[in-house]
Structure 1
């Protein structure tokens, strides 16, 4: 996915936040001029902590209940906002460009609603 992206369209993107399963993309990200930050799980009882590649994960006390991971909640929240749009609640489209257009329209709708509320 990174190889097919035209990063000149997003000149402000400098860092990628990825799950532990994507830690092998460090070389590809650095060749594109991006920094990669990976979520690590120090042991099975913890949902995760953010550490830089090569650093050791800190020991954390075990806690019960739901604890959102830093940075990941931003993505989950955005997916929830997009899911409020009927066309984005399911994957109906066969062409990825059409799906991308609907994502842009969904975010545009959200931003216009916020601007109208602020005015």
Structure 2
């Protein structure tokens, strides 16, 4: 399942279902919300972007090819996950 901002409503939902065989769920604000309100699932996207920009290279748009940019994003996430897996676990946690 994928989540997207309300700006991506329209044919993208059908395209994801047909071409990628994925479900795209649009996270929308309701009209009665005023001011800043945390939207459901929005924090997951924001947190992931924060993780990516923590690495210096993906924080800037140095890449000219999409494949190079994808490789840098993968490298950043592999680094993050390997650090997480190498971290000693607390007693009693699984």
Partner in structure 2 of residue 38 of structure 1: 26
Q: d(CA) in 2 for partners of 1:16 and 1:103?
A: 18
Q: CA RMSD in A?
A: 2.0
Partner in structure 2 of residue 22 of structure 1: 8
- C-alpha contact 2:27 2:42 (8 A) present in aligned 1: no
Residues 91, 67 of structure 1: alpha-carbon distance in 2 compared, 3 angstrom cutoff: same
Q: Can you give the 5+ residue segments of structure 2 that lack an aligned partner in the other structure?
A: 90-94
Greater share of helix residues, 1 or 2?
Answer: 2
Partner in structure 1 of residue 59 of structure 2: 89
Q: Can you give the 5+ residue segments of structure 1 that lack an aligned partner in the other structure?
A: 1-14, 47-61
Higher relative contact order (Cα pairs below 8 Å, separated by 6+ residues):
2
Q: Count residues in correspondence.
A: 87
TM norm structure 1? 0.62
Q: d(CA) in 2 for partners of 1:34 and 1:107?
A: 21
Partner in structure 1 of residue 71 of structure 2: 101
